[in-house]
Amino acid sequence: MYKKIMVRAIIISGVVVSQVVLFWGLDILAKKTLLPNIAFEQPYRLHGESGDVQGAYALSKNSSYLAWINGGVLYVEDLVARRCCYRGEQKTDSFVWLPDRSRLVFVSENQLYSLDLEGEVRLNRETEAQLPEGYTYTQIAVSTYSNLIYLMGAGPEGRQDILIIDLTKKLRYVDNQDDLSFSRLAVVNKTGSLVIQAETRDGPRLLHWAENTLTLISDDGGIGDAILLGTNDRGFYGGRIDREADCFRTVYYYVNEAAGVLEEPVAIWQGELPMSAEFLPFATGAGLLVSPEENGESEAYVIKMVWGANHEMGLPRIHVLGLPLFREAGAPRPVCRVFAANGLTYLEISGDQYCWRLLP
């Protein structure tokens, strides 16, 4: 009897200790990945207007700031001070956070601006040149290593063009002789190479622009119907779609450490996810969210990057994680999930409420 009591006491003690260790570990993780006054699973309120969000929310590199466009107005929320620290005064087309600091670049009234949030908030005109009239600029990509800024815009006749601004602040275009329809772009930061998703009659394809040359890097003999999933400092991710089976099958990684040189793509994940899905660009550590809905029931998945101790060596491993779309019965459906660059946490937003969550 005494032995049974002792065994039960040891088991209970073990459970308690494991729970303490778990919460202690989460607290340590929160302090490492975010800031001490930000708690997981606790609701907070956005102070900027969020009733008519265009595009997507986006977190700064250090997860301290959240930016979005609502009704043509750019808002930036300071998630540490819990206040709206910037509200634009003119209509904003699009924006992007720089990959290595708390600074964003945005297009407003056909001018290019940067907003620096490190220290005192500073708004700067990026170039004295006037951007072409009649364009709506839908996406921006920036290479801080090569000081290149790319703007994707739709012209008056619907034609998609990509504008390049270099260190001299001169304007030029990616040569689009085939009149392709561009839908997504991202930049490999260290090389300044641009990766573009184009829509063709045969399905989506990936293009690579470097050293003033635009090259097709995917076709039916390669990875087939391809979508751009994102980039990091040394390469980029492509995904393969199987249209016949109506599913998403593969994640490829391309090493691109020299501007004009692409190594053969390596399949770093293979599986099958339904195509009734929303694909979000990869952040540094995570970023493919698939949210199919059938008969009113939903699932969500995230493909998470898992790097070794030396991030610059070797390829990442891939984990496919299931996420609950609803926290509990009757809870409001999240408008979106925004992944932090650390690959460990994400922001779940519903209306003007948000909370931090930890990836499994």
Of 282, 275, 278, give the one whose Cα is nearest residue 335.
Answer: 278
pLDDT at 13: 45
pLDDT at 152: 93
Q: What is the mean pLDDT of residues 64-80?
A: 93
Q: What is the mean pLDDT of residues 106-134?
A: 86
| Residues 239-262 as b or e (16 or more Cβ within 10 Å = b) | bbbeeeeebbbbbbbbbbeebeeb
Most confident option among 8-12, 140-144, 227-231, 308-312: 140-144
pTM (predicted TM-score): 0.81
pLDDT for residue 115 is more than 90: yes
* β partners of residue 164: 150, 172
Do 78 and 114 contact (CB within 8 A), yes or no?
no
Percent pLDDT > 70 in the chain is 70
pLDDT at 8: 45
User: What is the distance of C-alpha 156 from the center of its chain?
Assistant: 28
Task: Give the number of other CB atoms < 10 A from CB of residue 189.
Answer: 21
Tokens representing 139 are 């996406």
pLDDT at 112: 92
Model confidence at 79, in pLDDT bands (50, 70, 90)?
Answer: very high
Beta-carbon contacts of 169 under 8 Å, excluding residues fewer than 6 positions away, are 126, 127, 128, 129
How far is residue 55's CA from residue 70's CA, in Å, rounded to a whole number? Answer: 9
Model confidence at 151, in pLDDT bands (50, 70, 90)?
Answer: very high
Most confident option among 138-152, 231-245, 332-346: 138-152
How far is residue 315's CA from residue 254's CA, in Å, rounded to a whole number? Answer: 10
pLDDT for residue 287 is more than 70: no
Most confident option among 11-15, 201-205, 293-297, 353-357: 353-357
DSSP string, 225-243: SEEEEEE-SSEEEEEEEET
Tokens representing 303 are 């493909």
pLDDT for residue 162 is more than 90: yes
Do 51 and 70 contact (CB within 8 A), yes or no?
yes
pLDDT at 196: 92
Percent pLDDT > 90 in the chain is 20
Range in 95-104, 136-145, 290-299 with the lowest mean pLDDT: 290-299
pLDDT digits (tens, 9 = 90+) for 186-215: 998 888 999 999 888 888 889 999 888 888
How far is residue 327's CA from residue 344's CA, in Å, rounded to a whole number? Answer: 19
